[in-house]
Amino acid sequence: MMINEIELNRIRENLWEIPATGNMRVPGRIYISENMIHKNFKTDDALKQVVNVAHLPGIEKYSLAMPDIHWGYGFPIGGVAATNLEEGVISPGGVGYDINCGVRLVVTNLEESAVKKRIDHLVSKLFEKVPTGVGSKGAIKKLSKKDLLKVLEKGSAWAAEHDMATQSDIEYTEESGTLKNANPDIVSERALERGANQAGTLGSGNHFLEVDVVEEIYDDKVAEVFGLFKDQVVVLIHTGSRGLGYQVCEDYLKVILDASNKYGFNLPDKQLACAPIKSSEGQDYLAAMQAAANFAWNNRQVIMHLAKKAFTETFNMSEFELGFKLVYDVCHNIAKIEKHKIDNEEKKVCVHRKGATRAFPPGSDLIPAKYRSVGQPVLIPGDMGRYSYIAVGTEKAMEETFGSSCHGAGRNLSRRKALKDAKGRDLIKELNEKGIVIKARGYRTIAEEMPSAYKDVSDVVDVMHNEGITRKVAKIRPIGVIKG
């Protein structure tokens, strides 16, 4: 099959390969259904980006893309690539501007029937407690430079030290909420300025806090391990490192672009600018990116703390009665040094996940002990009008995708096109008629993020489930949403 002059060969029902041609070092591989190919690649250049990523020095096995693939900066969103530590490189385009944008899932003891009559009040209380919007300031006081540097160093552990996290919260966060080699000292003053008052803020765009109900359970055993049951009220939090992470990316893109020229890399797109992982530029970017990732984990943890307060106040119950517990927190814009088996040899590689999430299998010592019998929770948000999914990682993911899976529905319309399509519609009323209460800082965000702006997440999730990369555990539907 030829799509936009790119050859796609079918390997399995939902797995396609782009042969390595020209200066491609490896083939490209895309997990996607044939129906989605015809729907999504008419005007999107994301396939070309899969080809471009395959030119990176030191790339191993394949340039990969998940079924939520769409065009991004350098890498496609939904792109995964692993580079070896000898001649391999690190590329900010493989992480993105919103460093450690991620999702956390929280369960409660509440059932939908207990919440339905109070949902308007709950959403208003969440909107009051959790700052939203582009320039939003944190609900906690502006951090001193000393405190902010500690956040960048410690991540979620900082929240624990300030009574905004429990030990259980730390345990059920990827990497325990802290990348240990972060170096706050190489984060610019401008980035620090932007982050000082943004701890505990949701931001805008596709970020959200959602109150959901468990609508369907697909795997009773895994659901029980994750603490899920039918009709249960749960919370999804989706945000990242805010202005601080954006600035770190902006600062280091200039450094890495100079390095890319200095080391003589000849790449098809300057947005793929990269530096050898071993170089001073590569190491500095990695350490600054890790600091921004720690900021993001702390940010989601503080938001969870604020959301818990909103619930206890709304329902006038103790934390114990509420049972507000973190299931897991996963990031989906990051580059991490991990061990993976390549050609029957275990190698350390730098795995870039850009709009892709980790999906480690049963038995992995990198996931909480409680989950080792079943595998890592994989959290896949959909859109605010339909549903999201909880899945679980598999051994096949380790074999084929460096332990990676999709991270969401993936955009179907640009923000500009979504605004155009929303003209004349009352989207708040439309959502209310579906039983979804929404509060946002501005109507524009609702229009840009309306449900039809996204692919149907069930199509995306089914590809990964049918290919055995992740397995579906539960489907959840929104009843309350706050956005920027």
Q: How many whole angstroms from its chain centre is CA 125?
A: 26
Total number of residues shown for the chain: 484
Is 297 in contact with 100 (CB distance < 8 Å)?
yes
**Cα 212 to Cα 449: distance, rounded to the nearest angstrom:** 17
Q: What pLDDT tens digit does each residue of the chain (484 aa) get? A: 888 789 999 999 999 999 999 999 999 999 999 999 987 776 678 999 999 999 999 999 999 999 999 999 999 999 999 999 999 999 999 999 999 999 999 999 999 999 999 999 999 999 999 988 776 666 777 899 999 999 999 999 999 999 999 999 999 999 999 999 999 999 999 999 999 999 999 998 889 999 999 999 999 999 999 999 999 999 999 999 999 999 999 999 999 999 999 999 999 999 999 999 999 999 999 999 999 999 999 999 999 999 999 999 999 999 999 999 999 999 999 999 999 999 989 999 999 999 999 999 999 999 999 999 999 999 999 999 999 999 999 999 999 999 999 999 988 888 888 888 888 888 988 899 999 999 998 888 899 888 888 989 999 999 999 999 999 999 999 999 999 8
H or E element, residue 315: helix 280-315
Predicted local confidence at residue 304, as pLDDT: 97
**Contacts for 420 with CB less than 8 Å, ≥ 6 apart:** none
Catalytic residue among 70, 332, 407, 465: 407
Q: Bridge-partner residues for 233, per DSSP?
A: 213
pLDDT score recorded for residue 4: 79
Q: How many Å apart are CA 285 and CA 288, to the nearest integer?
A: 5
Residue 34 to residues 12, 28, 276, 332: CA-CA distances in angstroms?
11, 16, 37, 25
Q: State how beta strands 63-70 and 28-31 pair.
A: parallel
- CA angle 129–135–138, rounded 5-degree value: 35
DSSP state of 122: H
H/E stretch holding 121 reads helix 119-129
| Residue 391 β-bridge partners | 378, 472
Helices 119-129 and 280-315 pack at an angle, to 10 degrees, of 140
Report the C-alpha gap between 411 and 108 in whole angstroms.
Answer: 30
Token pair listed for 150: 């500690």
Measure the CA–CA gap between 395 and 376, rounded to whole angstroms.
Answer: 11
- Residues near 276 by Cβ (< 8 Å), separated by ≥ 6? 57, 87, 88, 89, 259, 263, 282
Does 121 qualify as catalytic in the annotation? no
Q: What is the CA radius of gyration of the chain?
A: 21
Q: Give pLDDT, residue 410.
A: 86
* 0.85 surpassed by pTM: yes
Q: Give exposure, 204-220, as e/b (b: 16+ Cβ within 10 Å).
A: bbbbbbbbbbbeebbbe
326 bridge partner residues: 106
Q: How far apart are CA 465 and CA 460, in angstroms?
A: 9
Domain ranges of the chain: 2-95+336-357
Close Cβ partners of 230 (under 8 Å, ≥ 6 residues apart): 214, 215, 216, 217
Lookup: tokens for 386: 């339909």
